[in-house]
Amino acid sequence: MNTISLKRTVALFTALAGVALLNAPPASAAGPLKDITNRYVGSAVAANHLANEADYRSVLTREFDNVTPENEMKWGVVEANRGQYNWSGADAIVDYAQRNGKSVRGHTLVWHSQLPGWVSNLSAGDLRSVTQRHIATAMGRYQGKIRAWDVVNEMFNDDGTRRASVFQQKLGDGYVADAFRWARAADPSAKLYINDYNTEGLNAKSDALYNLVRTLKQQGVPIDGVGFQAHLATRYGFPGGYQANLARFAALGVDVAITEADVRIPMPADTTKLNTQATYFKQLWDGCHAVARCVEFTTWGFTDRHSWVPDTFPGEGAACLFDTNLRPKPAYTRINP
Ligand code: G3I
């Protein structure tokens, strides 16, 4: 069963079972986002907000049918000290998803950031074995409960060269293929993705990613999809060639997905800026829907109440579909009038 028909089947069973928790009033007469598309439509979520904010949980449950743990599955969180695991946040999100009929995107296994310090100091041999074990442990714990995993995250620099991560430096180019092979063995039911940012348009970085995915496919490496994060900023313009770029990857025989969309604007927000932001979200949404193998549209958080943007880009913000009070913004209404 392909991804889109699987989504339809899950939605049907969820409705029949009457388990949908639709507490909050709808944001659109057309229905929630998840019901106006046959793509998975998701958001990054944080376990503590899910546990402590009823309105956050309610809007998430109403609007989305995919969740991506924003930080809870990262290596630095689950194994900050070697051999001492903390799965509490990840377990809570997977449990929420199971109870509410949501799919989960696992995020992320091999990434240079949020790595525990002890991983960076290993010999090449030890790094290789603990990376395989990390993949096997995380994927094995949630086997069958995670639709798709970001196996390798952000491995390229913007100029298309490989990032000099500890994995690249100690294990060499082959670490990418190895990671996908280990991941397939750990959970054969999960779709395996490579994921990156600034690859939405046609540019040096997306060319490098395209060439890598083509080579991996030719070599029979088990890669199923390419994630485009889509952290956009209105001051940089909309990525040129976005739809053509998604289409060229799909033509390689992989699924594509928008995995972390947000569109930051200079603060303070005003009507003009919010309308510009709306056109960006709409183009992202439409481009995904124009490509048959674009199977998912996930945003990096859904409310301006909680977003990584202001912490990282002082003076910019308001990057999400809902405002701090969980009211739909023009970007939401443009997608779902
Ligand atoms: O949980 C601790 C808290 O105990 C402590 O008091 C506080 C002090 O700084 O830090 C908290 O951890 C922070 C964590 O977010 C949870 O809020 C980390 O410092 C902070 O670095 C971390 O930032 C996350 C970032 O990834 C790390 O690289 C962001 O929330 C998260 O949105 C962001 O997500 C990434 C994707 O994984 C990959 N793509 C880009 C995207 C945006 O940067």
E strands, the chain, are: 40-45, 66-69, 103-111, 148-153, 191-196, 225-228, 231-233, 255-266, 294-299, 316-317
Q: For residue 294, report the distance from its CA to the centre of ligand 1, in Å.
A: 27
Q: Which residue, among 247, 270, 138, 120, has the nearest Cα to 192 in the 3D structure? A: 138
Can you tell me which atom of ligand 1 is nearest the CA of 300? 32
Q: What is the pLDDT along the chain (337 residues), one digit of tens a residue?
A: 565 666 656 555 654 443 434 455 678 778 999 999 999 999 999 999 999 999 999 999 999 999 999 999 999 999 999 999 999 999 999 999 999 999 999 999 999 999 999 999 999 999 999 999 999 999 999 999 999 999 999 999 999 999 999 999 999 999 999 999 999 999 999 999 999 999 999 999 999 999 999 999 999 999 999 999 999 999 999 999 999 999 999 999 999 999 999 999 999 999 999 999 999 999 999 999 999 999 999 999 999 999 999 999 999 999 999 999 999 999 999 999 9
**Ligand 1 neighbourhood includes 86 CB (under 6 angstroms):** no
Q: For residue 71, report the distance from its CA to the centre of ligand 1, in Å.
A: 6
Q: Which helix (H) or strand (E) holds 243?
A: helix 242-250
**Ligand 1 neighbourhood includes 131 CB (under 6 angstroms):** no
Q: How far apart are CA 302 and CA 328, in angstroms?
A: 10
| Domain-wise residue ranges, the chain | 3-335
Q: Which residue, among 108, 134, 135, 109, has the nearest Cα to 44 in the 3D structure? A: 108
Q: Which helix (H) or strand (E) holds 211?
A: helix 204-218
Q: How far apart are CA 75 and CA 292, in angstroms?
A: 33
**Ligand 1 neighbourhood includes 262 CB (under 6 angstroms):** no
**Ligand 1 neighbourhood includes 65 CB (under 6 angstroms):** no
3-class DSSP state for residue 257? strand
Domain 3-335 fold: TIM Barrel (3.20.20)
Question: Is residue 296 among the annotated active site residues?
Answer: no
Q: For residue 76, report the distance from its CA to the centre of ligand 1, in Å.
A: 10
Residue tagged active-site, from 79, 200, 260, 296: 260
**Ligand 1 neighbourhood includes 70 CB (under 6 angstroms):** yes
